[in-house]
Each structure stands twice: as structure tokens, then as C-alpha cells.
Amino acid sequence: MSYQLPSAKKLTSSIIVLSAGMAVTAALAAPGGFGPRKGHERGHKMKNPEVRAEKMFERLDADGSGVITIDEFIARPGDRAERHFERLDTNEDSSLALEEFLDRPPRPDTDIDREAVRACVEEALGEEMPARPEPEAVFADMDANGDGAVSQDEFLSAAEARASDRFATVDSDADGGVTLEELRASVETGSSRRETRRQCVAEQRAADELTGG
């Protein structure tokens, strides 16, 4: 059996295919190519609870002491609360009426049975989860003087109180400071609970679609 050299046409076609393959490979590897971009990689890393905890710790530990104090911990929630108050105070009278407080975009999960989801989460995690308070009850708690309106000071005080309660939860050894290890454990616990809740919501919606509910 004699060996025949490939024709010039076949040889040219092979070279074109090989060159195209090499070009695609190079494009995937090159910065800005079609492969995973830096933004995508960064977003993927930030989904990692450990990485998120480290980034959070860097932001919160303002003096770089290696321990987050309660003043450092509540500073950021206080800043966010001030901006949030300004967005809610639509008539700019430096106080919030109940109507202003309730006038916000609806939550994306208004179509689900919250009690059923909470029961699902509790069963999956093996622990009791607190019920989410109604907005009217939250407003009443913030209205410290009971005048039917929430001032900016009352709004900020409520935000700081919530942050202080959160600090006490994260500060597991109750020594008055939050370490990276404590923050990491809290972030991991929160991530686990949120993922469990997402799964419970997805299961409920799938069941509703199946039954036409």
C-alpha cells in the first residue's frame, strides 16, 4: 500500500483549522478575551464567606488594631441609616410619617408563604428562627416619644441599637471586641442561613407551580 501525500487543498484546510484553534485558545487566555474576566472572578471570590469576612474586617477595623470595637462596628450602619432616612423623607421635613416609611418598593418574595418558609428553614437548620416583624411594628418601636412620627435622631438611634445587638451576637466571647475569627464565623452562619432560605423559597414556588397554587 503506497502512502499518498495530502493534497494542497487538504493541507491548506488543516492549517486554517489549526490556526483558528490556536487563535481561540489565545483569545481565551488573553486579558479581555472571551474567558473568565477579572470582574467575574472577583464576584465569584466574593461569594466565598471567608473572603467576604476578610474584606468586611478590613473595612470595619478602622484603626487597624486587629479587633473591631463597637464604635467601629456601628459607624457604617449609622452612615447608611442617615442616607436611608433622607431617601424616605420625601417631603424633607426631617421626620417620617408612617405613610413615608411604608412607601417603598415591594419585596420580591411577597408571593411566598413566609411562615411556611420559616418552618422549612427551622427544620433544615435545626434551630428556631425569629419571626420578621411587620413594618408598622418597626415604625412604632422607632417612634420613641409616641408622637406618630419618626425623627432623624430616633431613626438613627434605632439603627445603632440594632447594630449594637448584632455586635453582641458576633462578639461570641463577649469581650467587647470582634476578631476576624468571630466575624468569619458569623458571616459563614449568615451565608448558610440565606442559602437554606433560598432553597426553601425555591421549593415552595416549585410546589406552587406544580399544583397551580
Domain boundaries along the sequence of the chain: 51-211
Q: Taking the chain, what is the end-to-end CA distance rounded to the nearest angstrom? A: 73
Average of per-residue pLDDT across 181-189: 95
Q: Give me 154's grid cell.
A: 430616633
Q: Which CATH number fits domain 51-211: 2.30.30.90, 3.40.1160.10, 1.10.8.60, 1.10.238.10?
A: 1.10.238.10
* CA distances in angstroms from 135 to 131, 139, 142, listed in the order given: 12, 6, 11
pLDDT in tens, 5-49: 444 444 444 444 444 444 444 444 444 444 455 544 544 454 688
Residue 77 confidence (pLDDT) = 85
Specify the higher pLDDT residue, 151 or 30.
151
Least confident of 37-46, 49-58, 176-185: 37-46
Question: Percentage of the chain with pLDDT > 70?
Answer: 75
Q: Give me 157's grid cell.
A: 438611634
Question: Percentage of the chain with pLDDT > 90?
Answer: 56
Residue 109 confidence (pLDDT) = 67
pTM over 0.85: no
CB 74 within 8 A of CB 167: yes
* CA distances in angstroms from 33 to 25, 28, 181, listed in the order given: 10, 5, 38
Q: How much is the mean pLDDT over the chain?
A: 81
Residue 129 confidence (pLDDT) = 84
Residue 178, strand partner residues: 68
Secondary structure (DSSP) of the chain: ----PPPHHHHHHHHHHHHHHHHHHHHHHSTTSSS--HHHHHHHHHTSHHHHHHHHHHHH-TT-SSSB-HHHHHHHHHHHHHHHHHHH-TT-SSEE-HHHHH-SPPPTTTTS-HHHHHHHHHHHHTS--PPPPPHHHHHHHH-TT-SSSEEHHHHHHHHHHHHHHHHHHH-TT-SS-B-HHHHHHHHHHHHHHHHHHHHHHHHHHHHHHHHT-
